[in-house]
Amino acid sequence: MRVYDLIAKKRDKGSFNQEEIHFFIQKVISGEIPDYQSSALLMAIFLNGMSPKETTVLLKEMVESGKVLDLSSIPGMKVDKHSTGGVGDGISLVLAPLVAACGVPVPMMAGRALGHTGGTLDKLESIPGFRTALNSEAFISQLSKIGMVIAGQTESLAPADDKLYALRDVTATVESIPLISASILSKKIAEGCDALVLDVKTGAGAFTQEKKEAIKLASTMVELGKRCRKKMVALVTAMDQPLGAAIGNALEIEQAIEILRGKEWKNVADFIELTDILGGWMLFFGGAAKNSIEGKNKIAEIRKTGRGLEKFKEFVMLQNGDPAVCERPKEVLPQAKFAKEILSPWKGTLFSMNARSVGVAALLLGAGRQTLESAIDPSSGILLRKKVGDTLERGESMAQFFYSSEANLDRAEKTFLAGVRIGKNRPKLKPLVHTIIR
């Protein structure tokens, strides 16, 4: 069996059997396949898809490429949440400590930036000293001690996904339902959770821009999770404009801390609403609420008390981060050398703000990776002064850019402005949650 033959087979719209998928995954783990061949096969899958049977086998092989954590020693239902990726989507930073503060254990294996979207691990690593690499024993110990952990994949947990994830990011093969489904669920099954709440994004800033495709992705993952005996729900949510006000690693940590403190930054109403909704489902699955509505109300109540910040501080300390970030985020987090206000060229109402354009602009400023080897500048990013539906005067600030290198500043500003539409009339705002799939 040769990788060349697998590439040709999928190029010609053929279907893989279990032996072929097993061969590919094993060769990925061993490092025997050069990146250019793995990339070619990923592109062939992206273009021609995989059947439900192929996707199920791919998931199984990716899970079995490493070991699965046994969390049975920890009482209660272990519940995780995963987003398919969005701009300004730092909800995990707020949600995990809130749910843990309500007594539901949250084991979360998170990822890094993919394309124009941010990554939870990159955001956390903007906290000085924060450690995202935990071995299995440390992962389980921390979950038992404080009820939450957010860490990256170890070499022993879903290692095949770890390698393919990085390649997908830089080869324009992220937006594939079979690849997304197998990637997400392989991590979640490997981490040992009992239930999973999925946030499947749709809209301009999502990998699945069409609502029909997002529903298909959500349904696929719910069905795959069900076959693996996990409690599942998927919420298809809007990603037409960025969530919240902050886009960028340190900026999103600061925003999360203020929300956990019980305060509300301007322009974070959508962020908070979605946090409460997702948290409601997590509490329901975890047995801390009779239904998702009761759970949502409990999350909101805990958030306003500031107890979530206490849990976040414990979490940061146990993962070697500087706990002072919870009291003095601006002093502790890295700060950009430069800042620039982006002014409105017209008077009117902000009719739309393309989330992908904003995400790419933030990436150009240094908040994301343009190549596999690119380093992220944790201090760079964008702070939104206005959201869709807000009125603007000509020359009024729409956003503030933060950056330490001016190399791509002009491109970033043009990209941002290209995604903004200003009109005379107020737009009809789309619902935050389009549909829920059980």
Type of residue found at 70: D
pLDDT tens digits, 21-52:
999 999 999 999 999 999 999 999 999 999 99
Mean pLDDT for 365-383 is 87
pLDDT tens digits, 317-329:
999 999 999 999 9
- Which residues contact residue 239 at a Cβ distance below 8 angstroms, ignoring those fewer than 6 apart? 86, 87, 89, 201, 202, 203, 204, 205, 206, 355
pLDDT at 112: 86
Q: Whose CA is closest to 179, among 292, 59, 270?
A: 59
Q: Tell me how far apart the alpha carbons of residues 174 and 181 are, in angstroms, rounded to a whole number.
A: 11
Residues 36 and 93 in one domain: no
Counting the structural domains of the chain, the total is: 3
- In the sheet with 433-437, reading across from the earlier edge strand, the strands are 79-83, 195-202, 231-238, 433-437
- Do residues 233 and 198 make contact, with C-beta atoms less than 8 angstroms apart? yes
Average pLDDT value for the chain: 94
Does the annotation count 2 as an active-site position?
Answer: no
Q: Is residue 56 part of a domain?
A: no
Q: Is residue 73 part of a domain?
A: no
Does the annotation count 82 as an active-site position?
Answer: yes
pLDDT at 111: 83
Pairing assessment for the beta strands 433-437 and 231-238 based on DSSP bridges:
antiparallel
330, 360, 379 - which closes a domain: 330
pLDDT tens digits, 204-234:
999 889 999 999 999 999 999 998 899 999 9
Mean pLDDT for 265-293 is 96
Residues 37 and 160 in one domain: no
CATH of the domain at 218: 3.40.1030.10
- Which residues contact residue 240 at a Cβ distance below 8 angstroms, ignoring those fewer than 6 apart? 203, 204, 205, 352, 354, 355, 388, 430
Its domain, for residue 278, covers: 79-330
**Buried b / exposed e along 175-213 (16+ C-beta atoms within 10 A):** bbbbbbbbbbbbbbbbbbbbbbbbbbbbbbbbbbbebeb
Q: Which of 22, 78, 81, 82 is catalytic?
A: 82
Report the range of poorest mean pLDDT among 19-33, 164-178, 293-307, 352-366: 164-178
pLDDT at 162 over 80: yes
pLDDT at 263: 79
Residues 24 and 93 in one domain: no
Q: Is residue 60 part of a domain?
A: no
Residues 362 and 312 in one domain: no
pLDDT at 4: 96
Q: Which phi-psi region, left, alpha or beta, contains residue 299 (left: φ > 0; alpha: ψ -120 to 50)?
A: alpha
pLDDT band at 373 (very low <50, low <70, confident <90, very high): low
Residues 310 and 370 in one domain: no
**More reliable by pLDDT, 219 or 374:** 219
pLDDT at 19: 97
Does the annotation count 187 as an active-site position?
Answer: yes
Q: Whose CA is closest to 75, among 144, 148, 176?
A: 144
pLDDT at 148 over 90: yes
Does the annotation count 72 as an active-site position?
Answer: no
Pairing assessment for the beta strands 391-392 and 246-247 based on DSSP bridges:
unpaired
Q: Which of 78, 123, 187, 387 is catalytic?
A: 187
pLDDT at 240 over 70: yes
Q: Is residue 54 part of a domain?
A: no
Residues 288 and 175 in one domain: yes
Q: Tell me how far apart the alpha carbons of residues 382 and 340 are, in angstroms, rounded to a whole number.
A: 10
pLDDT at 369: 79
Does the annotation count 438 as an active-site position?
Answer: no
The neighbouring-strand residues paired with 196 are 80, 232
CATH of the domain at 418: 3.90.1170.30
301, 330, 359 - which closes a domain: 330
Q: How would DSSP label each residue in 122-148?
A: HHHTTSTT------HHHHHHHHHHHSE
Two structure tokens written together for 186: 């392989």
pLDDT at 372: 58
Residues 91 and 31 in one domain: no
Virtual torsion, Cα 190, 192, 198, 204, nearest 10 deg: -30
Handedness of CA 408, 414, 419, 423 (dihedral sign): positive
pLDDT tens digits, 397-424:
999 999 999 999 999 999 999 999 999 9
pTM over the 0.85 mark: yes
**More reliable by pLDDT, 277 or 429:** 277
Half-sphere exposure of 314 (CA within 13 A, CB side): 18
Q: Is residue 429 part of a domain?
A: no
Residues 108 and 195 in one domain: yes
Q: Which of 65, 126, 176, 183 is catalytic?
A: 183
Backbone angles phi, psi at 97, to 5 degrees: -65, -30
The neighbouring-strand residues paired with 435 are 236
Q: Which stretch of DSSP H or E encloses residue 407?
A: none
Q: Is residue 253 part of a domain?
A: yes
Q: Which of 22, 168, 201, 303 is catalytic?
A: 168
**Buried b / exposed e along 309-339 (16+ C-beta atoms within 10 A):** bebbbbbbebbebbbebbeebeebbeebeee
Residues 93 and 106 in one domain: yes
Q: Is residue 434 part of a domain?
A: no
pLDDT at 334: 98
- Do residues 202 and 239 make contact, with C-beta atoms less than 8 angstroms apart? yes
Q: Whose CA is closest to 108, among 182, 180, 201, 193?
A: 193
pLDDT at 175 over 90: no
Residues 8 and 90 in one domain: no
Q: Tell me how far apart the alpha carbons of residues 131 and 146 are, in angstroms, rounded to a whole number.
A: 16
End-to-end CA distance of the chain: 40
Residues 363 and 247 in one domain: no
Report the range of poorest mean pLDDT among 89-93, 166-170, 240-244, 432-436: 166-170
pLDDT band at 155 (very low <50, low <70, confident <90, very high): confident
305, 330, 355 - which closes a domain: 330
Q: Is residue 163 part of a domain?
A: yes
CATH of the domain at 7: 1.20.970.10
Q: Which of 89, 161, 240, 276 is catalytic?
A: 161
Residues 248 and 320 in one domain: yes
